[in-house]
Chains A and B, each alone.
Chain A
Amino acid sequence: GAGVSQTPSNKVTEKGKYVELRCDPISGHTALYWYRQSLGQGPEFLIYFQGTGAADDSGLPNDRFFAVRPEGSVSTLKIQRTERGDSAVYLCASSSGTTKTGELFFGEGSRLTVL
């Protein structure tokens, strides 16, 4: 596609439920990133994929969070047993091998609200 696509754009769920957020990166981009942006804050790194493998998952806050990218394109961020503190905008970004360092192309985000 023309840009990074994220679905759903909004998700409201109840505490304790399971949530999946999907990211479709720019076609041909090998690197994919998930960031989380809480209200009034800058994005915070969660996980980075190079191809199908998670090259760096040091930003995942705990084991309730997991992400996959089985075919090296679309990625899914999975959150188990959601908590109210998980409420945030989850941003996906992608970049190609020729992209300048730090030049990430972001999607519009998935806004998660945990009641």
Chain B
Amino acid sequence: QKEVEQDPGPLSVPEGAIVSLNCTYSNSAFQYFMWYRQYSRKGPELLMYTYSSGNKEDGRFTAQVDKSSKYISLFIRDSQPSDSATYLCAMSRRTGANNLFFGTGTRLTVIP
């Protein structure tokens, strides 16, 4: 079993829709949770960062962490064609952790 599970999609939604992306994990030691966005043939870029359980909002993006269920989510409101990309969840065990555990990524297409 992989430490981080993520549905690879692909996921297609119409412009303006609310998108929900999710990951589950098995290691209860994970404390730091991130969402990266990766455009085609580009490197991942950090989108959202959260520590422990709770919600974090940044513009149209909301990240949720439920450590009791070992489940994290990313919501995108009013989705735009420019949001079309692969979204990777990532997590680490401790501060200064020297590596991240990534999900496989969910490929999202927002249709105009």
Q: How far is the CB of A51 from chain B (nearest CB, A)?
A: 13
Q: How far is the CB of B20 from chain A (nearest CB, A)?
A: 19
- CA gap between A4 and B44 in the complex, in Å: 12
Give the interface residue-count category, chain B.
20 to 34
**Known A42-B6, A102-B34; contact A93-B98, beta-carbon cutoff 8 A:** no
**Known A42-B6, A42-B103, A43-B102; contact A101-B44, beta-carbon cutoff 8 A:** no
Contacts of A4 in B (CB 8 A): 43
Closest chain A residue to B46 by CB distance? A103
Closest chain B residue to A33 by CB distance? B99
Closest chain B residue to A4 by CB distance? B43
Give the interface residue-count category, chain A.
20 to 34
Chain B residues 91-107 with CB under 8 Å of chain A are 91-92, 94-105
Chain B residues 65-99 with CB under 8 Å of chain A are 88, 90-92, 94-99
Which of these, B4, B43, B95, contacts A108 with CB under 8 Å?
B43
Contact indicator A48/B99 (Cβ below 8 Å): yes
Q: Determine if B32 is an interface residue (Cβ-Cβ < 8 Å).
A: yes
Q: Mark B33-56, 1 if CB is under 8 A from A, else 0.
A: 010000001111110010000000
Q: How far is the CB of B35 from chain A (nearest CB, A)?
A: 10
**Known A33-B99, A42-B88; contact A107-B43, beta-carbon cutoff 8 A:** yes
The 4 closest A-B pairs by CB, nearest first: A106-B43, A42-B102, A45-B99, A48-B98
Interface of A toward B, CB cutoff 8 Å: 4, 31, 33, 40-45, 48, 50, 55-56, 59, 91, 93, 100-109
Q: Apart from A4-B43, A91-B43, what are 11 other A-B pairs with CB-CB below 8 Å?
A: A33-B98, A42-B105, A45-B100, A48-B98, A100-B49, A102-B32, A102-B49, A102-B100, A104-B44, A106-B43, A108-B42
